[in-house]
Every structure is written in C-alpha cells, then in structure tokens.
Amino acid sequence: MTETADTNTVAGTPADADSSKPAASRRSFLAGAAAGGAVAAVSMPNVARAQTVNLRFQSTWPNRDIFHEFAQDYVKTVNNLSGGRLKLDLLPAGAVVGALQLQDAIISGALDGGHGVAGYWYGKHKAFSLFATPPAYGWNANQMLGWIRYGGGQALYDELVRDVLKLNLVGFLMAPMPTQPLGWFKKEIATAEDMRNLKYRTNGLAADMYQEMGAAVTIMGAADIVPAMDRGLLDGAEFNNPSSDRTLGFPDVSKVYMVQSYHQCSECFEVIYNKNKYDNLGPELQQILKFAADAASADMMWKAMSRYPKDLQAMKERGVKAVKTPPAVLQAQLDAWTKVVDKLSADPFFKKVVDSQKAWTKEVVGFEMEWEVPREQAFKHFFG
C-alpha cells in the first residue's frame, strides 16, 4: 500500500509539480507500478489458496476401472469450472471405506462426497434402485435421465433422501450407461431354467428380479467379483461393460460372455455429498457441482462409444465368446420384472415412483417408436 500511495502522489501531482523533471516522474511512476504489481503477483495466489474448499471425494470403483476414470472426469470438470475455489480430491474404492459403505461414510462426514450408483443403497429402501437400475419398461438410460431432469425424477429422488429416509445427503443422477450384459458364465445360458439355483452376482432391483427367476443372488463390490468366481463362490456374474469387465479380469475366469439383458438396461451414476458440506458451499459452487454432472454425462457417453467396442473385440481375440441372450430368457426376465414391481408397489412411495416412470416412458418411448426411423435396416444395408 505504501508503494501505491507514493505512486499516486507522484503521478497525481497537478500544477505545482516540477515540470522540469518529467523523466524522473515517469521513472518514479513505473517503479511504483512495478512494485505494486509485484505485491499483487505474490499476494493474489495466496488469497486464492486460502479460499479454496477441499472436499474428500471417493468413488465406489477400483482405481484401474474405467468407472473410476469417469469419476475422475467429473472431478476434473468441477475443479476446472470452479477456477480454484473448489477442489475435489478423488480416492478409489477402499481408500477410506469399501464400495458398499460409501453412503454411510458421507452421511457421517468421514468423506465429503462420492461417485457410485444409487442401487448400492437399496438395502435402505428398494426405491433407491429405481434411480439407478429401474425395471425394463422399454426405455434406455438416456431416457431415464430425461425423466430425472424433466419428468419429476429429481424431485422424487430428493423426497426419498430428504423426507422418507431423512439422510444428511444431496445427490445428482448423471451419466447414462448402455444396456448391461447378462454376464459371465461357465456355460451358455440357453433357457430361463439355466438360471435356477445359479450362484450369481448382481446389484439393486436386479437382485429381486433374478431371485424371482430362481437364482441364488449375491451382492458385492466390483473388486470382489472375479476372485469370487475364481474360487467357485459364484457360477456367474455381471458387472457392467466390456471395458470394466476386461480390466477387472473376467476373461481370466470365463470365456462365455452373454450379452443383452433386461436386468439392467437403463442405469446411471450418482454423485452424492454430505448435506452440511454442500450447504456451506453457497449457490455458485453448488451449481458447479450440478452442471459438472451434466457435462460429464455427455463426455462419458462419447468416451464409452469409443472404448467399449474396442475392448469387446480385444476380449474376443483372447478367446471370449460373446453370445446373445435367447429371447425366451429375455421374456422370462420381463415376466419376473412384472412380479417384482407388483410386489414392491405395496410400498406407497415405491409405487409413486414407478407410476411416474411408467407415465414418462409411455409418452417418450412411444414417441420414439413412432417417430425414429429403424436403425437396423440402414445398418444392414451398408454393412451387411
């Protein structure tokens, strides 16, 4: 401040200044300006660092999984948009807690936020899975996110978290995923009867659906699946996509990859924050967390388009056989979904969400089926 005051005195001296020393005055001004600039250059970064809010943010995914990479993409978007005022420090699953303990750790404040899927919390209320792995109404995951944004889905999610369960959380749904495979097996699944008594890993409402089909379902985090198959604790399992499945090591324990399924044909990610921490950020940083989710959603879809086909082909070259799930098995899944939805709709809130989803799907998918030209005919025309 002294330099600034001296500079103002020299530069601002009016008629009584000694006009015979203009060079000296200019030198004094420039020296003062340089000094003031140096102070600013030193002090401003210190101010910025002092104002940075750091949040501990853990994913539910192993460090090497593409899902953890997707979490990193979201984190980078938040950090870049905030201009240094907010910094998410990303940790992989297990760094603080296991994948299935993430929500409790955030509620308690052991973590500030995290990246996962809402279906992991369906043990607290099965409606959680309706915001992650809902029934197969004929919609895809992007259409499900349309329901979240414009069909009342976010308000229902907030009602579940805030009013029904009274959790100290704020969450956003993001990043639509392609249809998931039926999974990895020791032998091909030819009929619905082949699923009966099968020791099988899945998560969320898909567990209820497969139990309705007679499977013996186990729920576990991503890192535990392949070791469990290797030890014979599982006869079959699904995780999500070719890139994740390849990285997790499924081709080392199975060569039969059943693709296409109705158990999780519309899934999305979830980012959650401790509500106290979130409320203290203020409106601007809160909006950054929200809009970063939308930006990361788009980028994730495009990245998946690039990576998934390449990883599927790489696994085929290692001897993996990709087999389409037979129509009879798909129909058995739909029949099982009907029973699960009817049974769980005895809960008023669950039914409220299902009714909202069905109304949206009937309108949106109905329009798509009427409006969009069939892609299969054009694809076969050009590629055979």
Q: What is the pLDDT along the chain (384 residues), one digit of tens a residue?
A: 333 333 333 333 333 333 334 344 434 433 444 444 443 433 334 434 448 999 999 999 999 999 999 999 999 999 999 999 999 999 999 999 999 999 999 999 999 999 999 999 999 999 999 999 999 999 999 999 999 999 999 999 999 999 999 999 999 999 999 999 999 999 999 999 999 999 999 999 999 999 999 999 999 888 899 999 999 999 999 999 999 999 999 999 999 999 999 999 999 999 999 999 999 999 999 999 999 999 999 999 999 999 999 999 999 999 999 999 999 999 999 999 999 999 999 999 999 999 999 999 999 999 999 999 999 999 999 999
Side-chain-facing half-sphere of 22: CA atoms under 13 Å: 2
Parallel, antiparallel or unpaired: strands 216-218 and 86-91: unpaired
Instruction: Output b/e per residue, 245-254; b: 16+ Cβ within 10 A.
Output: bbbbebbebb
Domains defined along the chain, listed by start: 51-176+266-305 (3.40.190.170), 183-264+320-372 (3.40.190.10)
Which residue from 335, 332, 341, 334 is spatially nearest to 195, judged by alpha carbons? Answer: 332
pLDDT at res. 327: 98
d(CA 342, CA 35): 75
pLDDT at res. 221: 86
Strands (E), the chain: 53-59, 86-91, 113-116, 169-177, 183-185, 199-201, 216-218, 236-237, 256-259, 267-274, 321-324
d(CA 174, CA 90): 17
pLDDT at res. 77: 97
CA 263, distance to chain mean position in Å, is 19
pTM: 0.84
d(CA 192, CA 319): 25
Contacts of 191 (CB under 8 A, 6+ apart): 326, 328, 329
Residue 274 phi, psi dihedral angles, 5° rounding? -60, 125
Parallel, antiparallel or unpaired: strands 236-237 and 199-201: parallel
d(CA 251, CA 321): 10
- What are 337's two structure tokens? 């979904």
- What are 234's two structure tokens? 């599982």
d(CA 215, CA 179): 20
Round the CA-based radius of gyration of the chain to a whole number and report it: 27
β-bridge partners, 270: 116, 173
d(CA 63, CA 75): 14
CA 51, distance to chain mean position in Å, is 28
Which residue from 259, 261, 264, 257 is spatially nearest to 185, judged by alpha carbons? Answer: 257
Parallel, antiparallel or unpaired: strands 267-274 and 113-116: antiparallel
Which residue from 257, 266, 121 is spatially nearest to 184, judged by alpha carbons? Answer: 257
Which residue from 210, 250, 205 is spatially nearest to 227, judged by alpha carbons? Answer: 250
